[in-house]
C-alpha cells in the first residue's frame, strides 16, 4: 500500500502561523532596538533635559527678583519663529529650536507638549513631560475653546479661532486650503443668533509675518496735518489688559471687522452694533461713543473688542498693498464719488458692492470716514476717505483730523478683536 509522504494542509497552516509570529517578534525587536530610532530618541530627550534646565533657571531668577512671583500662574505660549520671541517660550528657553518652540508651551512653569507626533508623545511620557492634546475647530461648528481650525499651534499662516466663532469659507479664501489661502482674507463669524436669520458678525484675519507685513505705523501716507506730534493709543486696556502688541507676538496677526460698524435693532436683545453685510451703517457717532460701542461688542475671558487703532489701520494697508492693490489711490475699489461702480457717492448699507472690498474687507476705502484711536493734540484721526471726495485726493490711507465730539452723517467706525 502506497503512503502519502507530503505535508498535510493543517500542518502547513500551523507552520505558516508560527513563522508569522516569529517574524513579527523579530521585527518588533528590530524596531525597539533600531540604533537610528534610539539615537533620535536620545537626542530628543537630551534636548528636553536642556530645555528644562534653562526653564528652571529662569523660574528661579524670577523668584529671586520678585519673591511675590507665583510659579503656578506662569504661562508662556509657543513661539512661531517670528521676531525675537519676547514673552514666549523662546524668551525663557533661549536654546530651544524653531522646530521645538512651536511644539511646546510653558504652563504653570512646566514644559508642556502641544504637538501631535505620537512617537514624541511616547518619549515624553517616559520622562514625565506633560502632553496637552490640541483640539481643532469642527467644520461648520462654533469653536468651544480658542484654538485653530486644524488644531495646530497658531501662527500668521495658521490663524487662531476664538471661542464662540466658526470659520467661514468665501469665494476669495477657504479654510480648507489654509496653506495657500491664509494670506487672502480668511473670515470668521460669531454665534450671536440674530432674529433676522442673517449671518453673525464677521471678521477678517490680517496676517503679520514680521517681514512682508510688519506691525507698524506708516506716516508716509498723505495727511492734512503732517506726520509730527502724533500719538496712537496702541496698548488697549479692556477690562483685563489685553494689549495690541501682545496679540501680534502671540498669534502673528489680528482680526478686523469685515464691515463698517452697523446697527441692528434686535426685537429680543435690544439694539446691537454689528459687523454684518446689509446692516445700516452707524453714523452720527462721536469718537468716545465709537470706543464705547466697539468695546461693548465682546467682553469675555477669551475675546474682547475695541476701536481700530492707527497702527492696525496702517498694517492692514501694508497687507492690502502687498496684494497689488493701490492704497494711495483707492478710486477703483472704494465708494468715492468718482468710483466707476453704480451707486458711487451714495449712501448704502454695509457691504453694498462686491467691487468695494479688498482682501475680503468691505468699504475700508471711501463711503464714510472712520474713527481710529490715533490722536493729534486735541483732535482724533479718521481714515479711509469718504464718498464725497475722490479716491485720489482722499484715499483709504489718508489721515484727517476731526473734533472728537463731532457727530455727522459721514462719520463711522470699525471694530477689531483682541484674543486672550
Q: 275-289: per-residue pLDDT in tens?
A: 999 999 999 999 999
Which residues on neighbouring strands pair with residue 412, listed in sequence order?
370
Q: Look at residue 17 in the predicted model and tell me its pLDDT.
A: 66
* Contact partners, residue 400, CB within 8 Å, separation at least 6: 223, 224, 369, 381, 382, 383, 394
Phi, psi of 39 (to 5 degrees): -65, -40
Coil, strand or helix: which one is 121? helix
Q: Look at residue 229 in the predicted model and tell me its pLDDT.
A: 53
Mean pLDDT across 229-247: 56
Lowest mean pLDDT among 34-43, 330-339, 361-370: 34-43
Q: Look at residue 175 in the predicted model and tell me its pLDDT.
A: 95
Whether the pLDDT of residue 6 is over 60: the answer is no
What's the pLDDT band for 222 if we cut at 50, 70, 90?
confident
Mean pLDDT across 253-264: 95
* Contact partners, residue 57, CB within 8 Å, separation at least 6: none
Q: Of 233, 239, 362, 374, which Cα lies nearest the Cα of 298?
A: 239
What's the pLDDT band for 269 if we cut at 50, 70, 90?
low
What's the pLDDT band for 1 if we cut at 50, 70, 90?
very low
What's the pLDDT band for 138 if we cut at 50, 70, 90?
confident
How far, in Å, CA of 337 to CA of 205, rounded?
A: 29
Mean pLDDT across 82-104: 90
Amino acid at each position: 500500500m502506497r503512503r502519502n509522504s507530503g505535508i498535510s494542509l493543517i500542518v502547513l497552516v500551523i507552520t505558516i502561523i508560527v513563522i508569522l509570529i516569529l517574524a513579527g517578534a523579530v521585527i518588533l525587536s528590530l524596531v525597539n532596538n533600531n540604533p537610528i530610532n534610539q539615537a533620535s530618541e536620545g537626542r530628543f530627550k537630551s534636548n528636553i533635559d536642556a530645555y528644562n534646565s534653562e526653564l528652571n533657571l529662569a523660574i528661579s531668577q524670577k523668584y529671586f527678583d520678585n519673591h511675590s512671583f507665583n510659579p503656578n500662574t506662569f504661562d508662556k505660549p509657543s513661539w512661531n519663529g517670528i521676531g525675537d520671541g519676547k514673552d514666549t517660550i523662546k524668551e525663557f528657553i533661549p536654546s530651544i529650536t524653531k522646530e521645538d518652540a512651536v511644539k511646546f508651551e510653558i504652563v504653570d512653569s512646566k514644559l508642556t507638549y502641544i504637538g501631535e507626533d505620537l512617537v514624541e508623545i511616547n518619549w515624553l511620557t517616559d520622562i514625565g513631560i506633560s502632553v496637552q492634546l490640541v483640539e481643532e475647530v469642527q467644520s461648520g461648528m462654533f469653536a468651544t475653546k480658542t484654538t485653530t481650525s486644524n488644531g495646530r499651534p497658531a501662527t500668521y499662516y495658521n490663524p487662531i479661532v476664538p471661542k464662540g466663532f466658526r470659520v467661514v469659507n468665501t469665494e476669495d479664501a477657504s479654510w480648507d486650503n489654509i496653506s495657500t489661502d491664509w494670506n487672502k482674507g480668511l473670515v470668521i463669524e460669531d454665534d450671536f443668533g440674530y432674529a433676522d436669520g442673517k449671518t453673525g458678525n464677521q471678521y477678517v484675519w490680517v496676517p503679520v509675518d514680521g517681514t512682508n507685513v510688519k506691525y507698524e505705523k506708516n506716516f508716509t501716507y498723505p495727511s492734512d496735518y503732517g506726520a509730527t506730534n502724533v500719538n496712537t493709543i496702541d496698548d488697549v486696556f479692556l477690562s483685563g489688559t489685553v494689549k495690541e502688541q501682545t496679540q501680534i507676538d502671540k498669534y502673528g496677526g489680528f482680526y478686523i471687522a469685515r464691515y463698517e460698524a452697523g446697527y441692528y435693532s434686535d426685537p429680543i436683545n435690544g439694539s446691537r452694533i454689528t459687523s454684518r453685510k446689509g446692516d445700516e451703517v452707524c453714523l452720527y457717532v462721536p469718537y468716545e461713543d465709537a470706543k464705547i460701542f466697539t468695546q461693548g461688542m465682546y467682553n469675555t475671558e477669551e475675546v474682547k473688542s475695541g476701536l481700530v487703532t492707527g497702527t492696525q489701520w496702517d498694517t492692514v494697508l501694508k497687507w492690502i498693498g502687498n496684494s497689488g492693490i493701490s492704497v494711495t489711490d483707492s478710486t477703483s475699489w472704494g465708494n468715492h464719488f468718482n468710483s466707476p461702480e453704480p451707486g458711487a457717492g451714495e449712501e448704502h448699507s454695509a457691504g453694498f458692492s462686491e467691487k468695494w472690498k479688498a482682501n475680503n474687507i468691505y468699504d475700508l476705502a471711501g463711503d464714510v470716514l472712520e474713527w481710529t484711536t490715533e490722536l493729534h493734540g486735541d483732535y482724533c484721526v479718521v481714515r479711509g476717505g469718504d464718498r464725497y471726495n475722490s479716491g485720489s485726493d482722499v484715499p483709504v490711507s489718508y489721515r484727517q483730523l476731526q473734533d472728537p465730539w463731532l457727530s455727522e452723517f459721514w462719520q463711522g467706525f470699525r471694530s477689531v478683536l483682541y484674543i486672550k
